[in-house]
Amino acid sequence: MEHKRSEDCPPEKESMEQNLFICPHLGLIKEPCERDSNPSDANACHAQKSPARIIQSYQLEFCLTNAHTDCPGYISGWIDGIPKSLTRSSTLKDLFKK
């Protein structure tokens, strides 16, 4: 799977320790090589062609932590697109609804 940020971006400004925890797909919507290291509406997932802003609760739980390796987007990419439940106005609970 393509890990866009880690392959296409220059070495990151954050410390190596921070980089181990933050998902390589997280970046600003128009600047995939930049990101806010705190939950922010500016952060987006670049694991698919069209990046999407991710809800802050999911960033806090997954994107900005070691748990990003459990994210379906990280594991296999968003083959069917990023679930709407992960974008902005939804809650983390909605993510696991079918």
Binding site for ligand SF4 (CB under 6 A): 23, 25-26, 45, 47, 54, 62-63, 68, 71, 73-74
For the CB of residue 18, give the shortest distance to ligand SF4 in the complex, in Å.
14
Nearer Cβ to ligand SF4 (17/63): 63
Nearer Cβ to ligand SF4 (72/98): 72
For the CB of residue 84, give the shortest distance to ligand SF4 in the complex, in Å.
13
Task: State the Cα–Cα distance between residues 87 and 54, nearest whole angstrom.
Answer: 5
For the CB of residue 24, give the shortest distance to ligand SF4 in the complex, in Å.
7
Task: State the Cα–Cα distance between residues 29 and 52, nearest whole angstrom.
Answer: 7
Other beta carbons less than 10 A from residue 98's beta carbon: 2
For the CB of residue 80, give the shortest distance to ligand SF4 in the complex, in Å.
14
Nearer Cβ to ligand SF4 (40/73): 73
Please, where are the H alpha helices in 30-83?
A: 56-58, 72-76
Q: Who contacts 56 (Cβ-Cβ below 8 Å, separation ≥6)?
A: 39, 40, 41
